[in-house]
Amino acid sequence: MDVFLELSMIIGITVLVSGLMKLLRQPLIIGYIIAGIIVGPYFLDIVNSTETISSLSHIGIALLLFIVGLGLSPKVIKEVGKVSIITGVGQVMFTTLIGFAICKLFGFTTVTSLYIAVAMTFSSTIIIMKILSDKSDMKTLYGRIAIGFLIVQDLIAIFILMVVSSTSNGFVLKDLIFGTLLNGFGLLVILCLVGVYILPSIIRIIAKSQEFLLLFSMSWCMALASLFHYLNFSMEIGALLAGFTLSLSPYRYEISCKLKSFRDFFIVLFFVLLGSQMIFADVTVYIVPIIVLSSFILFGNPLIVMVLMGLLGYTRRNSFFAGLTVAQISEFSIILIALGVKMGHLTNEILVLVTSVGLITIAGSTYMMLYSNKIYNHISKYLKIFERSGKKVDEHKYHESEDYDIILFGYNRIGYDLLKYLEKTKNKFLVVDYDPETILKLAREGIDCRYGDGSDSEFLNELNFSKVKMIISTIPDFDTNLLLINRVKEHNDKAIIIVVSTDIDKSIELYNKGATYVIMPHFLGGQHTTTLIENYGFDFDKFVEERVAHIENLKKRKRRGQAHPMHDRH
């Protein structure tokens, strides 16, 4: 079959399945994987150009990790580096030990148990990054920590795959380890020097043309990914470092925004390919081990992360959300088992077992992450045992008073203009935001602020709403605003509640639930333009003054990292 026709059929079927998932309000990732299973050998069997589709999906993976790298500034690494390393390494160790014990109890051989246990330790970076991006949680503290320990996991996974594959080639392990470490360290130093001293000047010239900036960014990403692949490292790590070397550039937001459409298309092919390669056979003989191992991954892995982060002094909320990101196995797990089968260490039945665990845990963890707020609100009181007493390292509380006239939820975008007005008034106000970097910036400017999430019912309980006169939420998430309205109304019926929505029906529902005013940004643009025309008429000079003020405002926003429109929760 012609490759173009094959891709057209695959994309068409994926659209139909995804449309059904959307109609049923199910995660689209599940739809992509189901579409892959449908077009795979067990049903329609139309995936023949596996190599071509795999190459295209790898482009999506590279772009995804490149965009992640763009957000990994040295400040972020300094903030979450320690917890990411400790949690990443600790989770791999404890999962391996417990997984090995479980496999031995089921009567598997030592070699088979070790393979399965190690495979259980790796979580899917691609799936987690996609969900974090869809939830706009990449900048949250738990999101940054999760990205950090997923990278640590990937590095461990790559090293293990290199060691296992080298045993069939007669390589000396000592030479492999030292050669890999030295080559990797040397390459990293060179890239850091290029990123600091050479790339900024090049980017400054290239950025004069937006098309050229896009072309350069993609070529830089692909070049480093290819280089790392050629040197027997991971293509994913190369793409990540390509983004990291550009993370200090002031144009990183434009680059990220322009590449997201490409990323989303190609990454769909990855999930479809993953579904098409799922192996289904008679698993009845292994049904109990599959259930036990899947349960361990879905619930045991998050518990391990929660214990480790709790010991490091983090709140149970961030520990819980970070823990959910390791509640599935990854493509590295299946690759490791397939490699073991190829080398004669394992049987095909073990590959079927691990593939089944992968399908269950990927589906289960996707739902757990998407509904994490609701799950947490129901079980948070039982998670206190995972918290150390005393001050938490992730509280970021920068205010003395507990009584405020106005509380602003979300500084980014809309909140930026609101804060400028609030500073001119004599009212006492508090800013709440879920981005720790934003909170630190506000604290340095002497503004009362606090790190927190409007969807966290426990956090809302800590705020004093009884005397507040106005609540402003710039968070476009409907459930978050609904929770906020209900919580404020419980303590203060007279408080003015202003929220944001991007949907007409949901805006009307928010009004019905008690919102005083609902901001709809898409419609306000037209109203603002109408007001300008009414006030200025055909007065050219007035419009020029407005233009100058707007340009200055845009430059300030760009310096604060607000250069591209996103549907952030804050």
d(CA 489, CA 569): 22
Contact call for residues 44 and 3 (beta carbons, < 8 A): no
List the structure tokens of 338: 């397939």
pLDDT in tens, 149-177: 888 887 788 777 767 766 655 555 566 55
Percent of the chain, pLDDT > 70? 91
Q: Which option is the CATH number for 49-386: 1.20.1530.20, 3.40.50.720, 1.10.730.10, 1.10.540.10? A: 1.20.1530.20
Average pLDDT over residues 320-336: 88
Closest C-alpha to 484, from 460, 459, 518 = 460
Q: Do the Cβ atoms of 164 and 247 come closer than 8 Å?
A: no
- Domain coordinates of the chain in residue numbers? 49-386, 397-559
| 355 within 8 A of 279, measured Cβ to Cβ | yes
CATH of domain 397-559: 3.40.50.720
For residue 485, give the amino acid letter: I
Q: What is the tens place of the pLDDT at every residue in 463-491? A: 889 889 999 998 888 988 999 999 999 98
φ and ψ at residue 36, rounded to 5 degrees: -60, -40
Average pLDDT of the residues in 76-94: 86
> What tokens appear for 476 in the block?
């476009």
Sheet holding 470-473, edge to edge: 397-398, 449-451, 429-433, 406-409, 470-473, 496-500, 517-519
**Secondary structure (3-state) at 470:** strand
Place 238 in a pLDDT band, splitting at 50, 70 and 90.
confident
CB atoms within 10 A of CB 344: 8
Are 135 and 368 spatial neighbours (Cβ–Cβ below 8 Å)?
no
- Checking if the pLDDT of 79 tops 80, the result is no
Which is it for the CA torsion 539, 540, 542, 546, positive or negative? positive
Helices marked H in 463-513 — which ranges? 478-491, 504-513
Q: List all residues 6 or more positions away from 73 whose beta carbon is below 8 Å from its beta carbon.
A: 247, 248
Give the global pTM. Answer: 0.74
Q: Which residue reads 């800013």 in tokens? A: 431
> Mean pLDDT over residues 286-291, rounded?
91
Average pLDDT score over the chain: 83
In sequence order, what are the residues at sequence separation of 6 or more whose Cβ sits closer than 8 angstroms to the Cβ of residue 280?
42, 352
Angle at 523 between CA 518 and CA 524, to 5 degrees: 75
DSSP assignment, residue 518?
Answer: E
What's the pLDDT at 272? 85
pLDDT in tens, 407-456: 999 887 677 778 878 888 888 999 998 887 788 888 888 888 888 888 88
- CA dihedral 370→375→376→380, nearest 10 degrees, is -170
Counting Cβ atoms within 10 Å, is residue 197 exposed (0-12), middle (13-18) or buried (19+)? exposed
Q: How far is CA 446 from the centre of its chain?
A: 30
pLDDT at 561 over 70: no
Could you report the per-residue pLDDT of 506-555, keeping only the tens digit for each?
999 999 999 999 988 877 777 778 888 888 888 888 888 888 888 887 77
For tokens 């910036």, what's the residue?
441
Supply the DSSP string of 283-308, one letter for each residue.
-GGGHHHHHHHHHIIIIIHHHHHHHH
